[in-house]
Amino acid sequence: MSENLYEILAARFPADRARPCFLLSDGSAISYGQLETAAGRIAALLRERGVEVGDRVVVQAEKSPQAVMLYLAVLKLGAVYVPLNTAYTAKEIEYFVGDAEPRLVVTDAVALERDSQAFAPCGACAPRQASDIASIIYTSGTTGRSKGAMLSHGALADNGFALTRAWRFTDEDVLLHALPIFHVHGLFVALHCVFLSGAAMVWLPKYEDDAVVLGLARSTVMMGVPTFYTRLLANPAFTRDAAAHMRLFVCGSAPLLPSTFAEFEARTGQRILERYGMSEAVIITSNPIDGERVAGSVGYPLPGVDLRISGGDTGVIEIKGPSVFTGYWRNPQKTAEEFTADGWFITGDVGRRDPDGRVWISGRAKDLIISGGFNVYPKEVELLIDELEGVVESAVIGVPHPDFGEAVVAVVIGSADAEAIQEKAREGLAAFKTPKRVFMVADLPRNAMGKVQKNLLRETYSGTFTAT
């Protein structure tokens, strides 16, 4: 029996294919039937252009319903979908194309869908096994070259079903979709929850405050990154009434500040549901629909996911489960390095678990600071600084130091005084954890999903104590 992800998704589309899938900004809609037909036509066009089972199709195209149709068409053919960030330059694309060796590169999904209209829809799906690769997602490459994480048809299907159940998606839901679709969050997490439940989407080309506020009135669920929620809270139009129609706000891809969590609850009466995931495993843990959603916690492992902490009460998170990736594309050495001898994937995230199993993330293992032989977890220092008056957000890093090996440095957005921040840190932290320098900045460098790029901060401030 074939386990092609396209067949699994399409089997859950509404029986009445006239029901809307995309609700567009101009008031029009695209039905499930139109989505299915267009995906079939694009699949026929791709096949005519030589795309076969297992071929890679690289896509660097603007967000559009046609790009989603293309994604489904690639799955249908049994080819491998490789989405790329639309911000990548030609030089960066050269690397990805050289690594993936695709049969086809698509930069305009709208034009491709238009060209496909001359074709009869491709009917049959290519048979695929659960272990066959459906997509390659290139990691953000914060250390060295980006690596292609291979995600199988079975892994994506299993995670989609787990999330649909965990977050109680039904065909009565309407997802506000403002995320990019070159990333796991907007592509797999959001779309698969919709398709597997037969729900609809308010489809926004990108995040814009006013458009999101308007979209909330006809939505029931929103998925976002922390930046979405901080921007909403800064918009006077985002009131309790504006959020009253919503049943669920989900946040991920970067840590949500406890202050944002608290302010959001005070404004709307609702608690944001935080979850934890990564390109190599999609979603790993989630706060519950029922029960306590705790600020700063990412909740509990999804059903089927095993999670353990290596190296003590606080240590590197290791996982097993059906949604864990197959390995890195054409990189068996790196794949082997990322798994333990007994088969657990080493996430590289540092965290801990409560006695009841709730998970807390302290940061990335590579962000751990060792100052004078003592371990400093940046998250602990950031939490203290973020509570201070005049601080909007902080990022704590380690930089080279001639005496201590590494020194703790805080880079802070806000109006607070740098010396006052240091003084408060001394009151609440051991001396080795206290920032030896505090830099006040207007903004922090972030990736496309809003995650602070600490590798860039370390480069920027690397000469703080060692420059001659």
- Which residue would you say has higher pLDDT here, 200 or 256? 200
Per-residue confidence (pLDDT) for residue 88, from 0 to 100? 85
Distance CA 427, CA 434 (A): 9
* pLDDT at residue 468 is higher than 70: no
Nearest CA to 74 out of 100, 119, 106, 120 is that of: 106
Span of 38-42, 157-161, 270-274, 379-383 with lowest mean pLDDT: 379-383
Mean pLDDT of 26-41: 98
Give the predicted TM-score (pTM) of the model.
Answer: 0.89
* pLDDT at residue 403 is higher than 70: yes
Per-residue confidence (pLDDT) for residue 144, from 0 to 100? 59
Distance CA 184, CA 283 (A): 9
405: confidence class by pLDDT, cuts 50, 70, 90: confident
Distance CA 8, CA 161 (A): 10
How far is residue 118 from each of residues 17, 64, 74, 103, measured CA to CA in Å?
22, 20, 18, 22
Average pLDDT, the chain: 94
Largest CA distance in the chain: 71
Per DSSP, the residues of 108-141 read -HHHHHHHHTTSPPP-SPPP--TTSEEEEEE---
Per-residue confidence (pLDDT) for residue 141, from 0 to 100? 53
Q: Which domains occur in the chain, in start order?
A: 5-360 (3.40.50.12780), 368-460 (3.30.300.30)
Distance of alpha carbon 142 from its chain centroid, rounded?
A: 15
| Most confident stretch, 107-111, 312-316, 348-352 | 107-111
How far is residue 11 from each of residues 3, 36, 74, 80, 220, measured CA to CA in Å?
11, 11, 17, 20, 23
Per-residue confidence (pLDDT) for residue 362, from 0 to 100? 87
Asked if residues 433 and 426 have their Cβ atoms less than 8 Å apart, the reply is no
| Most confident stretch, 65-79, 388-402, 418-432 | 65-79
Asked if residues 368 and 350 have their Cβ atoms less than 8 Å apart, the reply is yes
The residue whose two tokens read 């066009």 is 45
